[in-house]
Structures are given as structure tokens and as C-alpha cells.
Chains A and B, each alone.
Chain A
């Protein structure tokens, strides 16, 4: 027994050593699950030698992680909350990086008739009027915030309705649920395109400008958290909004389809 314990203890020494330079980025499940980081981070590392460690969470949790000082950079998609994050002193400055868009997915027979809806709020209103099943993230993520804004625009309060399910989970888990019920769900296009387990789901509504989904990047304020790696973190932000970083983002495709569109200010 003691020998077993000793040999197992030797394994301790074999844990990965600290990388030379790395930064921790709090980001969202949509960027991680869609495979974007897997595409752009190796390009950044080749150029600068900086390893980027991504912790993928909902936007709410990512901002909380950053505010606690557990990340150097936060890269999320809920503009109003990002601006509040900077205004409250947790972040230095917010930069636009890229956008993708949200799409409404639902059963292919479209029981609520959302394909014919003139606008995104009208499509949501149709779902509510029909009482068709709807799977919500319910996790305070950027997608959940966008969904709540659409219900507000539709003049519907879905919380507590029998057809409204809050999964309290990430985008993929929510899509897995929606595919089983089947139910409507709001998803970012990136996660949807790389999602494999669609079942009967199809895009039933897309293209309205209000479905525009802007991503921003912010350096955590070193005045609040002195250990923040300012030089490396800023190098990552500068690269993301540079022509080279934007080209890397635009170059990521799934099944030939571009997922994210760089729109950093020149």
C-alpha cells in the first residue's frame, strides 16, 4: 500500500510545467464550441510565442471570472454588459472584433409558421401564440440576453409558460434538448453550423438585423488586478483587431461557410 502511494506520488512531478508565456482568456461557449479558437490561436502563438488559454463560459460567467481577476482578457458578446464592465472599472477599453448572427432553429415542419414571419420579434410572437415548445439557454449568457431582448420586443413574457423550457446550460446542451423535444431555440450561427446532432431541427428564421451578434474584447484592468499580464494581453487584443487577426477570423470556415466576420475599427 505504501509503495503504491509512493509510486503514485511520483506522478505529481509529471504534471505539465508552466508554459513560458501564456494569458488566460475568459470567453464564451459559442467561440470555443464553433472551433474558432482552435483555428486562430495556433496562428497567434506561431507569431508571438504567447499561449492563449481559453476558459469557455457563458458571457455572464466570463465577465464575472474576469472581474474576479481570474483572466487577463475577456472576449464575449453582450455589448451593453461589456460597456458596463468597462464603466465599472473592471476593464480598460472595449474593442469591436467581429460579428456573427443569431438564427432561430425549430422543427422542420415549423408548427408556429415562423418562416413566414416579417421580423424576428414577429417570429417569436408566432411561437408564443402557438404555444410551441421553446428551449432557452436560461443561463445569463450573451445568447440568453439576446433572446430575452427579442421576447421583450415581441411583447411576450415567456418565463413560467408551459411551452418555455429553461435548460440552464450551454448552447450545445440546449440544442441537444431542442433536437429531442423538438423545440425552437435561438442559437448563434457558428455553433449551429458546427453542431452535429441536429435531429429534425432546421433554421426557420434568419436575416433580421436585430439578430446581429457583436463580439468585443477587453483587457482586464491592471489597476484592479495588478497581476494582469498587460503586455501579453494587449498583444492578443492588438493582433485580433489587426489586418492579420481579422484575416484569420474571416478565414475560418465550416463546410465551406464562413462563421465570423471581422469588423474591427480601422
Chain B
């Protein structure tokens, strides 16, 4: 098993090991949920930041840009302290649940979505301002049009967000607790197997995670190509 990670990875998938399937399913659900929430908040917020002028706007932009580099372990620690029974949100009993991991990953990827959306919408607005204005559109009314026009670039941002979420281990380990069958994800399982000295199995799990990421990116690329061709 430990000899050839490629064979081990193949064997694990071929057996459709239920524990492994559960871990893969949980990882995908948590990361996709985080991406969805981050998009629901981040796309409108990023567009608003691009188009609305207000005092302190530069400060907000710099903050979101800087938060793209937020170390996951710091995000995890802060959320741990918030969700802990001794913390302000302790009564929600969210610590060591998948929801805590969704929250941590959302915090990590929201800055990426906001910053990329803002920068893209800003550029598109500059490009199409006169055209949109001549059609009688205001800045805010232009938001859906601009987001739709930039969907292909936005997809790259969303994929970057998914990549950061699914590859991350520091935060989910702290707030999820790596509980077998409950909060064990691909990355925390890889950490655990490394610590058990099962390096072959750890690499095999890593290969499976990479394969999933490859497939998702491939699908997204295909969708983008199709959409581009269709949009002319």
C-alpha cells in the first residue's frame, strides 16, 4: 500500500472506500458552500466598491486586498475563539462542526472574490461608461450587466477561491477538529496520515484531491469557452 502512492490512490478510488467517499463528499460540500456564500456576498460587494464613491473607500479596498494574504491559521484561531463555548458565539454550538469549517473558508476566500470583482467591474465600467450612460443606465443599474459581461474573468476568481478553500488545512483543523466521520476533510486526513507515518496513503489522498481540483477546473474552463463562443 505504502510503496506506490499512484497505485494506492487508484486502489482507493477503485474500492470506493466508504470512509474515503465520505471525506471527499464533505470536503466538496464544505468548500462549495463557502464559495457560494462568498460569491453571494462578494460579487455585489465588489461591484459596489468599484462603482460607489464614499469616504474611506480606499481604506476598504486596501483592507480587502491585504486580507487575500490572511494566514489560514490566524483566521482559524479567531473563528475558534468566536465559536468556542467561552466565546461570544458559543451558544450557537458551531465549533467542531462542518458549519464552522464553512465559515472559516468563507472568511478566507471572501477577500479574493471582493477584490477581483472590484478590479474587474472598475475596468469594465471605464470601458463601457459612455455606452451604458447613453442607454440611460446608472452606475448601480449597470452592475448586473457588468458582472455578466465579466463572467469569464470572474470564474477565474471563483476558481481561485475554491482552490484556496479546498487546499487549506490550518483553519479547518482548528475549527473542525478533524473528527473522524464528522469534520475530517481531504486536507486534515492528509495531515493525519502524514503524522501516522503513512506517507504513501497521504500522497494517495493528495493525488485524489488534485484530481478533483483538476476536474473542476477543467469543467469551468470548458464552460467558459462555451460561454465565450456563444456570446461571440
Segment among A9-17, A80-88, A128-136 that sits at the interface with chain B: A9-17
A112 within 8 Å of B by Cβ? no
Nearest B residue to A12 by beta-carbon distance? Answer: B33
B177 lies within 8 A of A55 (CB):
yes
B36 lies within 8 A of A11 (CB):
yes
A69 lies within 8 A of B33 (CB):
no
B182 lies within 8 A of A15 (CB):
no
Given A1-B154, A55-B179, CB of A196 within 8 Å of CB of B197: yes
Interface string of B25-60 (1 = CB under 8 A from A): 010111011011101100100000000000000000
Give residues 1-47 of A contacting B (CB, 8 Å).
Answer: 1, 4-6, 8-9, 11-12, 14-16, 24, 29, 32-33, 37-38
The smallest C-beta distance from A172 to any residue of chain B, in angstroms, reads 3
Instruction: Give the interface size bracket for A toward B.
Output: 35 or more
Chain B interface secondary structure, helix, strand, loop or mixed? helix
A194 within 8 Å of B by Cβ? yes
Contacts of B35 in A (CB 8 A): 8
A207 to B155, CA, bound (A): 61
A104 within 8 Å of B by Cβ? no
A9 lies within 8 A of B33 (CB):
yes
A237 within 8 Å of B by Cβ? no
Give residues 50-87 of A contacting B (CB, 8 Å).
Answer: 53-56, 68-70
Contacts of A196 in B (CB 8 A): 2, 196-200
Segment among B9-17, B64-72, B82-90 that sits at the interface with chain A: B82-90
Contacts of A176 in B (CB 8 A): 194-195, 197, 199
A142 to B36, CA, bound (A): 41
The smallest C-beta distance from A260 to any residue of chain B, in angstroms, reads 16
Given A55-B96, A70-B96, A227-B93, CB of A11 within 8 Å of CB of B195: no
A175 within 8 Å of B by Cβ? yes
Contact of A9 among B36, B154, B192 (CB under 8 A): B36
Interface string of B63-105 (1 = CB under 8 A from A): 0000000000000000000001111001001011011001000
Interface string of B188-228 (1 = CB under 8 A from A): 00001011111110000000000000000000000000000
12 A-B pairs within 8 Å (CB atoms) are namely A5-B43, A9-B37, A11-B28, A15-B98, A16-B182, A33-B196, A38-B180, A56-B178, A196-B198, A197-B197, A225-B85, A227-B93
Residues of B at under 8 Å CB distance from A? 2, 26, 28-30, 32-33, 35-37, 39-40, 43, 84-87, 90, 93, 95-96, 98-99, 102, 147-148, 151, 154-155, 158, 177-180, 182, 192, 194-200
